[in-house]
Amino acid sequence: MKKLISIVIPIYNEEENIPILISELEKVTNALASYSFEFIFVDDGSIDTSVKVIKEFTKKNKNLRLIEFARNFGKEAAISAGIYEAVGDAVVIIDADLQHPPKHITQFIELWEDGAEVVVGVRNNSGKQSRLKQLGSMWFYKIMQRISHTDITPYATDYRLIDRCVVDEFNRFTERNRMTRGLIDWLGFERRYFYFDTPERQHGEASYTMTKLISLGLNSITGYSMAPLRLAGYLGIVVLLVSAPLGLFVLIEQYIMRDPMQLKFTGSASLGIAVLFLVGIVLVCLGLVALYIAQIHTEVINRPLYVVRRKRTQTHTEGQLLK
C-alpha cells in the first residue's frame, strides 16, 4: 500500500500564484508515483478570488481539499488547521507564494525515508527583503538563541516535513498565540535540515506586514522564554548591588565619621541614593512576582509534560511466561 503524503498550503490572496503552484506540485507528485498525495489548501479569509480558483481545481482533482476560514485568523492558525485535518503518513507545509520551491519535496521525502521525523527547510538567502527586515531577522534569531529554552534554527522556515508521530503530538497543543515552527522545534524528534535558495515572489505582495512580523516575534519571545519576566528581578538585583554599598558608604563617611574625606554629600544626594535603594527592592519584588506568573504561564499554555517518540515492549515466549 502506498504511503500518503499530505501537503498543507495556507493561502491569503494568492489567486495568481495558485495555478502555478498546483502545476508545480503535480509535476512533483507525478514523479513520485510510489506515493499517494492529498493537497489541503487552507484559505485564511482571502478577499480576492483565491477560493474560487481553488474550487475550480477541486472539480478536476479529487485529492485536493479546501478549508475556508470565516475570517482572517492568521497564517499560524491556517497551518495548524491544515495539520489537524491531514491524514497522511507525513505532512509537508509549504507557502503558496512559490518562495518555497515545490521541487524540493522530493528531497524532503528522501530524508524522511532515511529516518528523519522532521525535515526543516532553511533559507540560504533572503531574496529581496529590505535591509530593515534582514537586520530584524538577524537580531531576532540572535536574541532567541540567547534566551530561549528551545533550540531555534536561524533562518528556518515553515517549509518542512513532519512525520505522523510528530503530527499527533503537535495536535495536542492548545495555546493560541503560537509560532508553528517553534512548537515543532520544541517537540524535538529526529531532524534533518535542507538548505535552499529563495526565489523571488512571482505575483502579489507578502501578507506578512512588518506589524505582523513584530507581533510574531514578540509572541515567540514570550512563548519560548521566561527571560522577559525575570528581567525586572535581574535589574533590581543590579540596582541593589550598586545602591546598598553606596548608601552604606555615605552613611558611614558622612554621618558616623563626620565626612573625613570632605566629600560633602548633600541631602538631595542622600535622598537619591535612598530612593534608588527602594527602587531596587521594588524591582526585586516584581521579579519574585514574575516567577509566580511564569509558573501560571507554563500551566496555562498546557504543553505536554513529555513527548514519547515510540514504545518498545518486551516479548516473551510461552515457556518464559510459564516460568
**Residues 6+ away with beta carbon under 8 Å from 268:** none
Q: Which helix (H) or strand (E) holds 292?
A: helix 267-301
Rounded to an integer, what distance in angstroms lies between the CA atom of residue 274 and that of residue 276? Answer: 5
**Residue 307 near residue 188 (C-beta atoms within 8 A):** yes
Rounded to an integer, what distance in angstroms lies between the CA atom of residue 297 and that of residue 179? Answer: 16
**Residue 69 near residue 78 (C-beta atoms within 8 A):** yes
Give how many domains the chain has, as a whole number: 2
Q: Are residues 152 and 245 in the same domain?
A: no
Q: Are residues 59 and 48 in the same domain?
A: yes
Q: Are residues 127 and 146 in the same domain?
A: yes
308 falls within a domain? no
**Residue 77 near residue 3 (C-beta atoms within 8 A):** no
Q: Are residues 44 and 138 in the same domain?
A: yes
pLDDT value of position 221: 62
307 falls within a domain? no
Kindly list the distances between the CA atom of residue 22 and the CA atoms of 37, 59, 91, in Å, as whole numbers in the listed order: 12, 13, 17
| Residues pairing with 195 in the sheet | 122
317 falls within a domain? no
Sheet holding 64-68, edge to edge: 64-68, 35-43, 3-11, 90-93, 156-163, 118-123, 191-196
Q: Locate 119 and state its grid cell.
A: 525535515
136 falls within a domain? yes
- Domain final position from 224, 254, 286: 224
Range of the structural domain that residue 235 is part of: 227-301
What's 209's domain CATH number? 3.90.550.10
Using CA atoms of 54, 55, 57, 59 in order, give the dihedral in degrees to the nearest 10: 170
Rounded to an integer, what distance in angstroms lies between the CA atom of residue 291 and that of residue 285? Answer: 10
Q: Which helix (H) or strand (E) holds 26?
A: helix 17-31
**Residue 64 near residue 41 (C-beta atoms within 8 A):** yes
Poorest-pLDDT segment among 75-79, 139-143, 201-205:
201-205
Q: What distance lies between CA 226 and its chain's CA centroid?
A: 15
183-207 pLDDT per residue, tens: 888 888 888 999 888 777 665 555 5
312 falls within a domain? no
Burial 120-132 (b: 16+ CB within 10 A, else e): bbebeeeeeeeee
Q: Are residues 48 and 151 in the same domain?
A: yes
Rounded to an integer, what distance in angstroms lies between the CA atom of residue 194 and that of residue 139? Answer: 22
**Residue 124 near residue 197 (C-beta atoms within 8 A):** yes
**Residue 194 near residue 107 (C-beta atoms within 8 A):** yes
- Domain final position from 201, 224, 247: 224
Q: Are residues 32 and 168 in the same domain?
A: yes
pLDDT, average across residues 264-291: 75
Q: Are residues 18 and 80 in the same domain?
A: yes
Q: What is the radius of gyration, based on Cα positions, of the chain?
A: 27
**Geometric angle at alpha carbon 147, from 128 and 225, rounded to 5°:** 100
174 falls within a domain? yes
Q: Are residues 288 and 173 in the same domain?
A: no
145 — pLDDT class (breaks 50, 70, 90): low
Residue 13 buriedness (CB in 10 A; 0-12 / 13-18 / 19+): buried
Q: Are residues 149 and 242 in the same domain?
A: no
214 falls within a domain? yes
pLDDT value of position 163: 92
Higher pLDDT, 10 or 283: 10
313 falls within a domain? no
Q: Are residues 189 and 248 in the same domain?
A: no
280-315 pLDDT per residue, tens: 878 778 777 877 777 676 666 665 544 455 555 554
**Residue 47 near residue 23 (C-beta atoms within 8 A):** no
Q: Are residues 184 and 71 in the same domain?
A: yes
Rounded to an integer, what distance in angstroms lies between the CA atom of residue 222 and that of residue 109? Answer: 33
- Domain final position from 169, 201, 224: 224
Higher pLDDT, 27 or 244: 27
Q: Are residues 215 and 267 in the same domain?
A: no
Provide the whole-model pTM: 0.66
